[in-house]
């Protein structure tokens, strides 16, 4: 072969420049996003240290300082951030006391007054600033009654117990604490204390020597049963807006009916020694007194935007909350550190010439701990815009608490999550991908569903019908919502090298990049159809027993499966032209919306999604077909013909929603 001439070399070089240099394909940037020069575990650690320096409950000065840190770090990542502020109703403790009257063997009685203090362990200089332990939105009051043990406080735990007039002692760990209080109230209890049982949260050694909860540790948290600011149900808490009075809020029934307090393992143990047979009620008598104050406080969501180049009016939204009950190293600032890491990496990509096809919005929410308030008010404020423009919402809350990847999502995102998990190394076993470790774990690669009200995705999925995902490394961790969830815990036990943070930023960020840059939205609705089929099959036996016809549901799911296959073929066959591509993408985006119904679930109308919602008896639990589930539950209690007919009606309702989703995917008018 003759030697190439200089002119030829120049031509080849110019051609390659033309081909590759001015606008590399998105895939080039996505690979760069995952590369090690782009990730920065030291900066993650430093951000987490800054964010968790002081306790920063919603409405506090320390939380405003944390907001400015997020604002300035978004700004240094060229995000042009802004603050979306709301005025919302928050509560704080003013007075708490708990005492136990125990009949002694002799005629004398003894009284134990509990200190309700968490011991300062380790060397955190701001331990004094932690809010006294309490339940947000707890009812104020002074109540006395025999102590009665009700295990985890689930509906089934109260069966056969007479707790009327008693102060219930329940342990944390199976259901949402607000539902424990509600369940106790409904069976006539006058007050509730919820303790952290060592069997669930303790170990041989405890923090700061090991990861386990110390005996004096207390899990605080909210006991409100609704979402968003209680005084503005369904609309945004903007300054000067309409607000419900305290009486109207109470009448809505989402506020607890009796006072409650969270207590430590040590205090719980002392109380339980005074109940007969370990259950009671009595003879130990508990006196619980709580006074809270309600404050109209300003909260700040920090919003950063990277405008899309070709479709600026399509939004890929990434969110995490910032407010914490205490220091919040796991909950939620591991997620905040991940969000800031993603912002930095996206900035580096932009400096290399990357421009996203669609707009990416980064949101740092406030007052999540109270009732998912920051995200809910923002979604209520922007409902129409989000309903017509949001492609997906990606959430990180307790992003890192240990090893092991987990994800929950609406099912059209399942394939994308798996694809991305295959491209990122497992930080705890770098010889394999996160996906390989995940499918070999106890969880065996199963993706959970987003019906619950456990984090900020709730409004996006359940109120508007936006596809969403939540992901993390770890899972439940023992010092949750206690004063020991601090930087030291994270550095010693949660993620000593901060490589799990790096990995979750890679997965979450790459999911966002694919949603923002892929020509066709990477949604696969065949997974949705097969998930729905499984849920329908779970209903089959019980429905048959009550002569309820589920064939409309089965038929609608079959149609969805066909429509999903058809749109996949359409994508593969290569639709040409920007407007045609956009039309296909709109169908993929809007199909999830079709699963919502403007009337919402009966009796809890804020929840518009008919396929995924929280269980009525456990806000942490996710239910498929929540309307059907509510109706079955009601029919089992009232046992009337009409109540079973209502189950049939709910089957029809969800079938119609699924049919609408198929029509949207097909893009055909009938």
Instruction: List residues binding Zn ion (CB under 5 A).
Output: 331-332, 397
- Work out how close the CB of 58 gets to Zn ion at its nearest, in angstroms, rounded to a whole number: 11
Instruction: Give the single-character DSSP code of 214.
Output: P
- Respond yes or no: is residue 368 known to be catalytic: yes
- Shortest distance, position 221 Cβ to Zn ion, whole Å: 10
Q: Which is nearer to Zn ion, 398 or 581 (CB)?
A: 398
Nearer to Zn ion, 81 or 332 (CB): 332
Helix 414-423 and helix 499-517: axis angle, to 10°?
A: 130
Pick between residue 66 and residue 288 the one whose CB is nearest to Zn ion: 66
CB of 456 to Zn ion, least distance (A): 8
Give the nearest distance from C-beta 368 to Zn ion in angstroms: 6
284 close to 295: Cβ distance less than 8 angstroms: no
Which of 451, 606, 419 is closest to 515 using CA atoms? Answer: 419
- Indicate the residue among 480 and 528 with the shorter CB distance to Zn ion: 480
d(C-alpha 158, C-alpha 187), whole Å: 8
Q: Which two tokens stand for residue 313?
A: 């009016």
- In the complex, least distance from residue 552 CB atom to Zn ion, rounded to whole angstroms: 39
Residue among 178 and 332 whose Cβ is closer to Zn ion:
332
The catalytically annotated residue of 198, 300, 341, 368 is: 368
CB of 454 to Zn ion, least distance (A): 8
- Are the beta carbons of 373 and 381 closer than 8 angstroms? no
Considering the complex, state which of residue 331 and residue 470 has its C-beta at the smaller distance from Zn ion: 331
Q: Which is nearer to Zn ion, 470 or 630 (CB)?
A: 470
Distances (CA, A) of 417 to 28, 142, 248, 381: 19, 50, 43, 29
Minimum separation from the CB atom of position 455 to Zn ion (A): 6
Determine how β-strand 425-426 pairs with β-strand 612-615. unpaired
Per-residue 3-state assignment (H helix, E strand, C coil) for 504-565: HHHHHHHHHHHHHHCCCCCCCHHHHHHHHHHHHHHHHHHHHHCCCCCHHHHHHHHHHHHHHH
CB contact at 8 A, 654 and 610: yes
Q: Is residue 85 left, alpha or beta, with left meaning phi > 0 and alpha meaning psi from -120 to 50?
A: beta
* Complex with Zn ion: residue 396 or 515, whichever CB lies closer: 396
User: Which distant-in-sequence residues (6+ apart) come within 8 Å of 46 by Cβ?
Assistant: none
Residue nearest to Zn ion (CB): 332
Place of tokens 């109470």: 250
Strand segments, DSSP code E, in 322-417 are 358-365, 390-395, 405-409
Alpha-helix residue ranges (DSSP H) falling in 401-498: 414-423, 434-440, 457-458, 487-489
Tokens of 50: 């800054």
Provide the minimum distance between the beta carbon of 394 and Zn ion in the complex, in angstroms, as a whole number: 15
Residues 6+ apart with CB under 8 A from 504: 338, 396, 399, 400, 405, 471, 472, 473
Catalytic residues, which ones? 368
């Amino acid at each position: 072969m003759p030697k190439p001439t200089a002119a030829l070399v120049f031509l080849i070089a110019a051609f390659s420049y033309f081909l590759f240099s001015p606008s590399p394909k998105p895939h080039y940037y996505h690979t760069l996003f995952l590369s090690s020069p782009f990730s920065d575990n030291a900066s993650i650690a430093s951000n987490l240290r800054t964010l968790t320096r002081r306790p920063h409950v919603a409405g506090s000065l320390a939380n405003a300082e944390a907001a400015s840190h997020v604002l300035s770090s978004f700004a240094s990542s060229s995000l042009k951030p802004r603050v979306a502020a709301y005025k919302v109703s928050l509560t704080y403790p003013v007075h708490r006391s708990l005492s136990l009257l125990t009949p002694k063997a002799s005629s004398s009685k003894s009284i134990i007054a509990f200190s309700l203090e968490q011991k300062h362990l380790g060397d955190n200089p701001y331990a004094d600033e932690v809010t006294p332990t309490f339940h947000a939105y707890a009812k104020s009051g002074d109540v006395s009654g025999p102590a009665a043990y009700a295990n985890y406080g689930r509906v089934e735990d109260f069966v056969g117990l007479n707790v009327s007039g008693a102060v219930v002692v329940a342990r944390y760990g199976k259901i949402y604490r607000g539902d424990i209080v509600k369940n106790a109230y409904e069976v006539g209890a006058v007050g509730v204390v919820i303790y952290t049982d060592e069997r669930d949260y303790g170990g041989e050694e405890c923090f700061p020597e090991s990861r386990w909860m110390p005996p004096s540790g207390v899990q605080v948290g909210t006991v409100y049963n609704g979402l968003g600011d209680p005084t503005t149900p369904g609309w945004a808490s903007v300054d000067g807006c309409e607000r419900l009075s305290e009486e109207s809020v109470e009448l809505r029934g989402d506020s607890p009916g009796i006072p409650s307090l969270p207590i430590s393992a040590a205090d719980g143990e002392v109380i339980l020694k005074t109940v007969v047979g370990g259950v009671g009620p009595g003879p130990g008598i508990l006196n619980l007194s709580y006074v809270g104050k309600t404050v109209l406080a300003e909260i700040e969501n920090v919003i950063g935007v990277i405008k899309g180049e070709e479709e600026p009016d399509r939004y890929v939204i990434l969110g995490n909350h910032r407010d914490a009950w205490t220091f919040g190293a796991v909950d939620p600032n591991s997620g905040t550190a991940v969000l800031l890491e993603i912002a930095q990496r996206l900035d580096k990509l932009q400096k290399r010439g990357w421009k996203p096809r669609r707009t990416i919005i980064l949101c740092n929410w406030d007052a999540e701990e109270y009732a998912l308030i920051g995200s809910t008010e923002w979604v209520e404020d922007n409902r129409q815009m989000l309903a017509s423009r949001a492609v997906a919402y990606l959430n990180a809350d307790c992003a890192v608490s240990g090893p092991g990847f987990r994800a929950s999502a609406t099912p059209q995102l399942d394939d994308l999550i798996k694809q991305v998990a295959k491209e990122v190394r497992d930080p705890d076993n770098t010889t394999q991908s996160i996906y390989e470790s995940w499918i070999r774990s106890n969880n065996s690669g199963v993706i959970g569903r987003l019906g619950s009200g456990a984090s900020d995705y709730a409004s996006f999925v359940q109120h508007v019908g936006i596809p969403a995902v939540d992901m993390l490394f770890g899972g439940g961790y023992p010092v949750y919502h206690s004063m020991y969830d601090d930087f030291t815990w994270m550095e010693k036990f949660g993620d000593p090298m901060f490589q799990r943070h790096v990995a979750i930023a890679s997965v979450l960020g790459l999911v966002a990049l694919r949603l923002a840059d892929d020509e066709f939205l990477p949604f696969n609705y065949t997974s949705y159809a097969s998930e729905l089929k499984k849920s329908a099959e779970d209903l089959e036996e019980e429905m048959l027993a009550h002569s309820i016809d589920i064939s409309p549901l089965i038929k609608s799911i079959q149609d969805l499966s066909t429509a999903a296959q058809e749109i996949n073929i359409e994508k593969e066959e290569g639709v040409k032209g920007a407007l045609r591509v956009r039309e296909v993408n709109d169908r993929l985006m809007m199909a999830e919306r079709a699963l919502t119904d403007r009337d919402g679930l009966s009796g809890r109308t804020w929840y518009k999604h008919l396929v995924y919602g929280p269980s009525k008896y456990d806000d942490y639990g996710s239910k498929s077909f929540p309307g059907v589930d509510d109706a079955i539950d009601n029919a089992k209690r009232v046992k009337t013909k009409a109540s079973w007919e209502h189950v049939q009606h709910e089957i029809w309702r969800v079938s119609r929603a699924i049919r609408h989703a198929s029509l949207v995917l097909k893009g055909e008018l009938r």
